[in-house]
Structure 1
């Protein structure tokens, strides 16, 4: 198993919860939830039991239905049925793929109240109507989203732990890396952008260093997602499929805001709302919401009708761009890596930054305004986050982020944003393919530091 930052979150949950709450580990299919849960169970508990509801027998499921009101009998029969002995307060029970059997999720309330074991659930598509219908979602459940590997985790997978540590130290110390190390970090970041962060894909790349073979693994994952849309999308399956298939084209647009009329000239937001929710709940996409009046508490002025829709994993986005071909050869990926192929890198660069911000727990927001009468009000800010600001005694401020895929660019939008919103604004960031450079509250960071914001 690759080293995952989420492992520390699991340790924190175990230490702080002490059995008082279950943990729901949710995320996209093939993002590594089951692997992480099993490894955590093996390493951190004297005993564990994994119940995979994608293959659990009807007899086992019957225990959950018949003994809801008799927890003592439930555990006696469960241990007899599975042949696993579970010592009290030092055992973990994992409900894997819990969305396949919602009654087990509802049972968490009684199990946590009983207090003798810890409980970890894993699931995908955890909130769609089909997977919650007829059950009471337990309030004793804490959710943790597992994202694809971010760049730091990709470096760990590549055995580049020292480089990851040096990048982090450079960011925290506000000091650029030496040129040779900067070039190495840039090269590896471009590789990461092409490969993405799905564990199975990263594993294939680490083992083979062959983009063509990696592409086949990514295509299998995309096929799995399309199958899920057909199987679980219900009456919205057609709309979900339309949104999913057009994501690369939407991101290739200059402004990148999602235009519903590109799906259907008569499309309305209310008709497609469930489709976007489905893709976000499946952790296939990541929605970035426009903000009308940026301030701390970005959600307060968010405009749900103005949004950008990114792929949760950039490697899958690149694969989907070439989906019209039966396969994408290693040579094509190599040409992209070396900058020999004319392609809209801006869409990939912005998507990979969105992926890094999401992996760090940030909600995705942006600011965009067009004013034909006053150009000072026309600006495009790719992302907004909130962070402590030293010049405001550490109080939270809005930090605007511009993403640049080329080395030649301007920063007028950041200047306009500062002029318009004044004291609300903290550190302004430009993420670009160049070394770090700080100019007062304007900080230019190499793209490979995005995961540290």
Structure 2
């Protein structure tokens, strides 16, 4: 089974845009960038030339000389047997371009020339902008690719577009979900929490539903991330980035899930570790969720960059960082205490981030905290995430009564409803539509 990915539609829109420039496809390792570009090229182009600068370092030498496009093309034709460059009909794919800074510089000249479509792919790991002699600002379109979102996961599990349309209709009409449907969707969401969205993991699960194999693959991916930290982080950042990465499960175990540098190293602070966290973010491994000074729009103008939570970008990988048995505990809905709430917060944050939302939360004097704030229908909307079904919304009511918040959404395993004026209640899985 071929995994269906939404990024394919965006690639096709790019190809059909008469003003297209070279495309830089970014994203963490193992999210499927190379696979999707190969598939796109086979379906949309007559000729396809692919260069992977990590697989064969010799190709880096092709970009050491003249940046004239004709000269570059001739060098590639001589070095890559069977390669054909036909204006308007050839896609050139420069994979792992972070390993060849000169190739990144050459994107400007391909964009100005315009005869050939060019996609460059870089896993954010190891991209060192200082090594690029002339960054092609203004000559590159950008797309970021993530692991599979929840809708793509449902497709992989055999759900078709008509089923998604039915579910969206229930959401749009704020209609009560039939109990059997809600139970089934919560089962799907718990599977998605345990499996996550990394393509290799999802493919394995779709083939045989073997959670033990899923866990082995996930932990191998985590080891790959740790190896990449050792390979690409510079100097002292290696140990610091690894320490921040390994602290994430402990950070989320606290009542207040705000990132605390003391959990990385006792007595440490932002001066020592902030750069390492930013490195993990740039590598596509974590999401930041910043605290708002005031729960109002514009969020970025009200955000406190010194106060934040850190979530894993793929919740399945977070689960794999826990001990054996955690997957099954989530699947059967076992009470995991405070950590169950952390897992559900992570999945909702993951879902929001994959929709292109920046993540924000609000807290006041440790007595009032709201998990997320999103711009929803142009209103600052509080979002509360609950792992158990109840319609109490004390924090939400306090925000509405005392802080001018006009709208709230409570996500829980329960059904569609309300918790008083201005507070809607929705099943957790409906976050995919927010």
In the superposition, the TM-score normalised over structure 1's length comes to: 0.90
Give the Cα separation in 1 of the matches to 2:190 and 2:103. 43
Aligned counterpart, 1:77: 75
Deviation at 1:26, TM superposition (A): 1.1
Aligned counterpart, 1:383: 372
- What is the aligned-residue RMSD (CA, Å)? 1.9
Deviation at 1:132, TM superposition (A): 4.2
Give the Cα separation in 1 of the matches to 2:134 and 2:395. 47
2:343 matches 1:360: no
Give the Cα separation in 1 of the matches to 2:210 and 2:274. 39
Quickly say closer, same or farther: Cα 1:15–1:441, change in 2 above 3 A: farther
Deviation at 1:318, TM superposition (A): 0.7
Give the Cα separation in 1 of the matches to 2:276 and 2:298. 26
Give the Cα separation in 2 of the matches to 1:434 and 1:183. 9
For structure 1, which segment, 338-347 or 307-316, has the greater mean C-alpha deviation from structure 2 after superposition? 338-347
Aligned counterpart, 1:185: 185
Give the Cα separation in 2 of the matches to 1:243 and 1:81. 42
CA contact (8 A) 1:22 1:141 kept: yes
Aligned counterpart, 2:280: 279
CA contact (8 A) 1:356 1:451 kept: yes
Deviation at 1:442, TM superposition (A): 1.7
Aligned counterpart, 1:419: 401
Alignment of 1:395-410 (within 5 A): 396-408=378-390, 410=392
Q: Give the unaligned 5+ runs of structure 2.
A: none
Deviation string for 1:99-142 (max 9, x for gaps)? 1112111110111001101111111125753x542433211122
Aligned counterpart, 1:432: 412
Q: Give the unaligned 5+ runs of structure 1.
A: 323-327, 372-377, 389-395
Deviation at 1:159, TM superposition (A): 0.9
Quickly say closer, same or farther: Cα 1:440–1:342, change in 2 above 3 A: closer
Off by >6 Å, runs of 4+ in structure 1: none
CA contact (8 A) 1:349 1:403 kept: yes
Deviation at 1:341, TM superposition (A): 6.2
Deviation at 1:166, TM superposition (A): 2.1
SS of the residue corresponding to residue 43 of structure 1 reads: helix
Quickly say closer, same or farther: Cα 1:128–1:65, change in 2 above 3 A: closer
SS of the residue corresponding to residue 272 of structure 2 reads: helix
Give the Cα separation in 2 of the matches to 1:293 and 1:333. 37
Aligned counterpart, 2:340: 345
Alignment of 1:12-91 (within 5 A): 12-16=13-17, 18=18, 20-58=20-58, 60-68=59-67, 70-82=68-80, 83-91=82-90
Aligned length: 427
Give the Cα separation in 2 of the matches to 1:97 and 1:173. 45
SS of the residue corresponding to residue 321 of structure 1 reads: coil
Aligned counterpart, 1:173: 173
Deviation string for 1:6-33 (max 9, x for gaps)? 22222222223x3642221111111111
SS of the residue corresponding to residue 66 of structure 1 reads: coil
Aligned counterpart, 2:229: 229
Give the Cα separation in 2 of the matches to 1:189 and 1:268. 36
Aligned counterpart, 1:270: 271
CA contact (8 A) 1:127 1:281 kept: no
CA contact (8 A) 1:22 1:120 kept: yes
CA contact (8 A) 1:102 1:132 kept: no
Alignment of 1:183-332 (within 5 A): 183-234=183-234, 235-322=236-323, 328=324
Deviation at 1:90, TM superposition (A): 2.7
2:427 matches 1:452: no
Give the Cα separation in 1 of the matches to 2:391 and 2:249. 23
CA contact (8 A) 1:350 1:403 kept: yes
Aligned with residue 424 of structure 2, among 434, 443, 448: 443
CA contact (8 A) 2:287 2:310 kept: yes
2:124 matches 1:117: no
Give the Cα separation in 1 of the matches to 2:57 and 2:277. 34
CA contact (8 A) 1:26 1:126 kept: no
Quickly say closer, same or farther: Cα 1:340–1:385, change in 2 above 3 A: closer
For structure 1, which segment, 256-265 or 110-119, has the greater mean C-alpha deviation from structure 2 after superposition? 256-265
Deviation string for 1:258-296 (max 9, x for gaps)? 111222232121221111111101111111111102322
